Amino acid sequence: MYDIAICDDDAAFATAFSAQLTRALETKGAACTITVFSEPAMLRRAVEHGSRFALLFLDVLFSEAEQGLRLAASLREMGLDADIVFVSSSPAFAAASFDAAPLHYLIKPVREDKLNAALARFLDKNAPYQLRLDKGRGYLQVPLAEVTFFEIFVRDIVIHKTNGTKETCVGTLKELEDRLPANTFVRPHRSYLVNLDHISEIVRYKIRVSSGETVPVSQKLYASVQQAIIHHADRRTVTL
């Protein structure tokens, strides 16, 4: 589910574009919630009060020239790392928009193919990470978000999942660790790799994950594991 915001002072356009956006995402099988803001101050207040959007469609021109560009800059300063697509009736500000590192720049009225191109770029960038693992005879596609931890038994890797089920593939933890996105898993013990997103508690010398299972933490690695969890805690709540 993606939280998306549209900020445009043209109410008729915003309503029509919201419907157009919903249809386009439905054809791609992507669920979303769309919030429409009629002025920059409303969007800023929403972000100040904790709203975190994955994608923003910002009008370039409000009551003042380049207002949308200043809005994008202020949202970046507030720590919002959402993807931004500028929408304008003119291509004149496209070059100036680069400072906000936009995902795309769309011209009104928004063509279906151009919107689909912007959405494809967004979805490719934000799609759940899939890991292709060797089962010995065949392969297994595993969404990393569903993995609580990996456990090794000689050459068999047991995949522990959030729903409590397990699957097995072939390989070593070192090979697996080298393929994982940076700063997503921690190795608390030579036989385990644990998903930082699913750690709910760490106590001496044990980690508890969201499924309720526990993983041992070696005494030698305890301090570094605890630091890795602390550095990751800005996105989650963990008991330390």
DSSP-assigned beta bridge partners for residue 216: 206
Number of Cβ within 10 Å of residue 64's Cβ equals 9
Number of structural domains in the chain:
2
| Angle, vertex CA 95, rays to CA 92 and CA 99, nearest 5 | 130
- Residues 116 and 101 both lie in one domain: yes
- Residues 85 and 147 both lie in one domain: no
Residue where a domain stops, chosen among 80, 111, 126 = 126
- Residues 151 and 189 both lie in one domain: yes
Residue where a domain stops, chosen among 126, 141, 168 = 126
What pLDDT score does 120 carry? 87
pTM above 0.85, yes or no: no
Query: Is the Cβ–Cβ distance between 105 and 85 less than 8 Å?
Result: yes
What pLDDT score does 235 carry? 46
Domain membership of residue 237 (yes or no) is no
Residue where a domain stops, chosen among 90, 109, 126 = 126
- Residues 197 and 104 both lie in one domain: no
- Residues 99 and 187 both lie in one domain: no
Query: Is the Cβ–Cβ distance between 43 and 94 less than 8 Å?
Result: no
Domain span holding position 56: 2-126
- Residues 194 and 109 both lie in one domain: no
Domain membership of residue 192 (yes or no) is yes
- CATH code, 223: 2.40.50.1020
Domain membership of residue 61 (yes or no) is yes
Dist. CA 162–CA 70, nearest whole Å: 42
* pLDDT tens sequence for the chain (240 residues): 789 999 999 999 999 999 999 999 988 878 789 999 999 999 999 999 988 899 999 999 876 655 788 899 899 888 888 999 999 988 888 877 777 778 899 999 999 999 999 998 888 777 777 788 888 888 888 888 889 999 999 889 999 999 899 999 999 988 898 888 878 899 999 999 999 989 988 988 999 998 999 999 999 999 999 988 887 764 444 444
- Residues 65 and 83 both lie in one domain: yes
- Residues 56 and 158 both lie in one domain: no
- Residues 116 and 195 both lie in one domain: no
Strands ordered across the beta sheet of 156-161? 166-170, 156-161, 147-153, 192-195, 185-189
